[in-house]
Amino acid sequence: MSVRAFSFIILFALMGCTPHRQMPGPELRDPDIIQSAEYGEIAVTSDGVQLPLRKWGAERARFVVVGVHGFNDYGQAFSDFGVWLKPRGGLLYAYDQRGFGQAPHKGMWSSSAAMRQDLSEIIQLLKQRHSDVPIYIVGLSMGGAVVLSASAEGMVPDAAGLIVVAPAVWGIEEMNLLYRSSLWLAAHTLPSQTLTGAGLEIWPSDNIEMLIKQSRDPLVLKETRIDTIYGLSQLMQEAQDGAEKVTQPLLWVYGAKDAVVPPEPTAKALARTQKTSAFIYYPDGYHMLLRDRQNEKVYEDILEWITTHSSTSPHQISMELAVSGAWVKGHKGNTPVKRDVRK
């Protein structure tokens, strides 16, 4: 076989195996929240997709929090935080994003645009319901990337503030060339192939009991399509690039023992938000900070920020220090480090 013939075979193979997307459909209706016997409520998007909407907390709330869950997880990830907020005057809503939990097209990537649009519509619906109290958005990992990129595009203007917990900002352009090339090739040749992450020895939390419970939860995805990983890498890049366009009050929290999102892209994106953000760094924190063993400390810090919109120990973090990631590598001790990185 000639080299030219072989090249055509490869080209046609790639054309037939592009990454799959469950793109949003045409606008069919006004977004709405309807009652559900199974979930309590369902958010119905403008293209007719039904997203389970769970809630916890005080009915006569002083503030509302909207939770945006992480990769392969679903809205139940916020249950402990929601219960904790109830006696403190908070009401927390969390929805299952497309492709996750009990939302449609489980395991399929829905596109970054669809995820941002869903968040925008849900915030608008909840603002209509709770017009007299401020609404804050908390994004976990992938959810943090959705929040950052949606804010950068001006899609959540009704949010009084944003909280991103270990946001996924390790975009495809931040990865080394070998990893980036391998991911692109796999997504375009074996898009439906699934990976489990078995053998990676990555601990996302020190809360072993929680991790065991999560491993037994049928709504938590255990296998991931390669094209879904590729879609996530693109969303993460959009969050990284869009960080400097975020103008709303922003709290960024991160743990030194995060083995999922590396410190270098985290520091790079954080430096881009320095005009708007406060930063809390936990020396003993893992990736799943809201469910780590020290989660109540994180809850307290988030509540304090919601109440005051600032850190309790404000001082500058230099651009050089932030970009180098030295704030992660250099700090020792067990006390959270709080920085107001606004100029």
For 151-207, how does the pLDDT look when each residue is reduced to its tens digit (9 = 90+)? 999 999 999 999 999 999 998 877 767 666 666 676 667 666 766 666 567 899 999
Task: Report the SS3 class of residue 183.
Answer: helix
Res 295: pLDDT: 96
Tell me the pTM.
0.85
Tokens of 197: 């992450």
Indicate the pLDDT class of residue 19, thresholds 50, 70 and 90. low
User: Tell me: domain 29-340, CATH 3.40.50.1820, correct?
Assistant: yes
**pLDDT tens column, 68-127:** 999 999 999 999 999 999 999 999 999 999 999 999 999 999 999 999 999 999 999 999
Listed in order, strand segments (DSSP E) in the chain are 32-36, 40-44, 50-57, 63-68, 90-95, 135-140, 161-165, 194-195, 224-225, 250-255, 277-282, 337-340
220 vs 159: CA distance, rounded Å = 28
* 58: pLDDT strictly greater than 50: yes
What are the φ and ψ backbone dihedral angles of 54, each rounded to 5 degrees?
-105, 155
Indicate the pLDDT class of residue 340, thresholds 50, 70 and 90. very low
Res 174: pLDDT: 79
Which is more confidently placed, 331 or 305? Answer: 305
Q: Are 126 and 95 in contact (CB under 8 A)?
A: no
- Residue extents of the structural domains in the chain: 29-340
Q: Which helix (H) or strand (E) holds 228?
A: helix 226-242
